[in-house]
Structure 1
């Protein structure tokens, strides 16, 4: 495994930094400094993603034949690290990162031509319809029905914890098209227009917010929703295969760049917080905590580099995505706990929204408002995309053969 960067890689790093300096405006920086989860208004996300698209970087992991930039694996790592270090807006993943790879691998040529260009250009926004009431980590127990009506499916049921559904134009859904002995069979993968009659989006208001229209998650109801047969991905009743393929991309992200940036914030908080007459950062007990977490983050970084090295030799992410998801989310939570400890009583004026667009004066340092909301928001990180307990089951079977 070669972990060194070439001269070309370093030149690419400088190019990324120059792009960030030019395009990550003061207005976007101000808004991102107040967000608890990386989500801004849809308009701001579109603005940022269209700037990436103009550069050719909107979809770093896409093949060049579909509009990807053709990054090497080291360039992918550099790109993720520099973007995370700068704190740029997140690329909303549901289109570019999640459904697009499924369409590329399993979709028809007509579906590729219809959907991929608009996903790349951020002209169409997507959300994910996987979990249901009673079918979260046990996703195979889903009950949303799609009845075959000849030229279309008739869909009834609901999806829950649907992030950004209130802004989405399309939703990709797992639906039950047949009752079979094995629950994973009889599931199909549908693309559904959110403007179709019979779809209703209801907000799910969480502890950390929101102001009206800015909530993160929703429940989506489907009542006699007609979905054309041409919106079926691949074969009927084979959706579980496509769902597992998608989850490799949802779980197998690079965590270490964002973790290092979050640790940097904690160190600043600890340096500014005075306890018993000295900075919290100077106190041995807190130093031990933050150094322990940093050691784990460094180990995570080298694990990711090993995986990227394997990818460069043509291997898939596979069950390693479950390992990344477990450690990445656990470290996110650990760092958020250190930040909350460091900010102390300044976390008490609890901010109920991302504060991204607010001009209200904050109590305490400028970086204080998102700390408590970020901590509470991250309690779900070890549950979504398949709970960490489920990921350990996957690893025990696929990696250890238990």
Structure 2
């Protein structure tokens, strides 16, 4: 087995790994991307996609927004519903920013197409991934490719963008992990029905939280709070729509129903791992942190990490200046903890805790405050759109 050579070995062909490869290539830095799953799986794996203004700007600046600018749906606010009332928070008025609906699945498709069109090597369906010598000047990425051939790639740097269950974080010694598990999950559906709202609805309800999101003008994405450990088999389509109707109920407003194309249950957790660098191994995206989806931060945090890491690696590998690489973990974690706190805060404010009447009253008090106080609304809006200081 011969040893190959590249500047940056990237583990993971999700948004973080693919975007990092693209940004590095724009600056003349070569990379190899490896991915456990098939290309088809990566391009069909359903994920939400609410993009902060900064994420949209990053994709546009990188020349990746051709479809996004046509198919993306710009939203200027959200609705908060509680106690039988629905209130609108106008982000344009509050912070002069918007968010954009464009599914993570579509971003991955755009990135894969862009990398392959540029002649970039992406090895899909690999196995037996490992890294070694990451504390040396020549770390090595090893794996078995789809044809069964063992490969070894000597790198200047390895970027672990392989998600929560990947091998990269395990290669960092003395990891300190901060974690919060929540006693509920989200049951999410994709339904072939036009959205019943122009912007997202976050609904607080005694039976549990509900979210009405949007996928396209003809497809809706909706979520229900369910107990942790709940089995998807116990939720028929009829039961799902019955609960959605109840939690979104509002006089004069109708929730449209349609065929459910997909449904799945997602556990809820907050997780932050430190450090985000060991030697010449750098972590980005879900490999280093997970947030509950209530704050719509997961994808945006991955892009934020890469927007910091890419210029840091360019400065080091092309220009010989390691200072940005040295400070990457600290700078990334400031943003990570801000988003982690916001996601936790939104989650605590909106999800029902059965039998805890005191907590319910605190939630209602917080919701009334956010919808009645402009400074409180500004705080939510600047965190939601991504403009809050880290």
TM-score, normalisation: structure 2: 0.26
Higher RCO, Cα 8 Å, sep 6+: 2
* Structure having the larger proportion of residues in strand: 2
Q: Normalising to structure 1: TM-score of the pair? A: 0.26
